[in-house]
Structure 1
């Protein structure tokens, strides 16, 4: 009799503990915790508000059901061994979010957005330990620039941050940027759309907040940051000009593309990645490409001619170890280059007009890091 009573008492306490634990978990609000990825739980039940796979295309944050509801999120699959729910946070025009891993979407996404509007979205820090955000354009389609390369029909303008981000329009799906917070603690994304009805206009932008001591934080001055051994870097709105009379290349750009140097690698190689038209940043593409300016013809594409639109690669050499007498590259072709200058960075510059740069699409370059054992200049 005594054994049965004891067993029943233990089971009853265990059930009560589970009930109380679930209640405590459900009543924790994600906005009230001061940590970037806090732990929640009572007793034996604890889990981290980390990233989780919400579905095949979007990531979420692992919350309790109540936390997800309070954050106006959408719960998907279970996480934290079934205790939490993977919560997708989406916001749209006129809204604000201080939650990590938020998606800023066009009204009615993925349906095309044809309204004329000024759509703003405000990013607030999760807490004082946050220094930066990474903005991924999962889907980003606005009107193309005018013949001069200016975003006059549609435009994305980013303000409030400490980084210099160019005005963007056109097609930028798959691109990303990093923006540092300044003392204002808010970064504002403003998308203006005109009366022109653009059938494919829509956006889905992922915003991840980055802690000051995070190893994935981009160095200061880097608008884009790549951490892979090899990757392809496209200029903003890169693509075929098609029937467009002007240029796809955007004006007034001056930004850095940085590459994290991996352990055991001392150099970086840059080369065209998309054929004859994959580097068209100055001059008339329709008349110049295919007339001898493609390839490694230094006299045709380098030197004093590169004063308006160009890319900069520090201390470059050709693949045969011949020195290059300039660090600027422009025109309608790009030679394969190697640089051992550190840190690894590519600077992109365009001037205020693209009037004579008819048909230009910008650039698509592939980089590959070179092992230290293969670094010719290092012996």
Structure 2
């Protein structure tokens, strides 16, 4: 995996931002509500063919760019800024890393890199129907259900974690073998679903994946933190732009100290969240022993602070921010949902306390 410099990551951020702004519709309720229900084939084809985002973490030998979690976090910030409704986080980051690091997923990596295969990760069991795996001849069958599955309606394959004989296994299941039950959540731009398996045939990826599944949970927290940071950054940008142009009492509202303080608070949220997320991403790439701690720090912070930034945007916008037509509510909805995805702030504070106490 090549090591990128800060300058190269800034160039990556700029290139991805420019590209997404050129190919993706302007941010509005009209263009984003329901956009995550199905794949936008034209946009996904351009993202795959022109800038190669689906292959970001795939090895060069399989048609990818062989970059790391640090670079993926940069891209996740940018996809969140435009409320990108295509499966970059779920497929191109988490599922791809799961398949790549399983040790037996090489046959799927080139398809993931090209964007022709979309996969998503299933980690959370339905407590009433935990997933079980049964060996049938040379194949496996899965029964049970997984909760909180991102982009389930877009996926062609599901990477499923299963407790098996004292180990944790990862198995790959085709989408036509499962039943997808979308939730009615507050995020109107991304589908989250319950996925049910009824004697679904599956392929096992490698042997005992207990450590990898734990790592994937931490990586999910890092990825969600990166998206939360991107949402906060977009909220700050929109707030500052509005404060510079909205005139009250004969002057821009941005000239009033109270509004300046709100914008400064948003900048503090963005920069601190970016720093915490970058540290966690760097741990994932270079210091895996520190990942559990740094991921918990990042997610505990961003889950609490970044939704606040979207709330401050609505406060600065005033009545305009409460309308359906303005996209501010979409940023808030995505932020509130991400705040509890892969664990909320309380979960990660408790985890952090346990990790530090055990040292």
Q: Is TM (by shorter chain) over 0.5?
A: no
TM-score, normalised with respect to structure 2: 0.23
- Say which structure is richer in helix: 2
- Is the radius of gyration larger for structure 1 or structure 2? 1
- Say which structure is richer in strand: 1
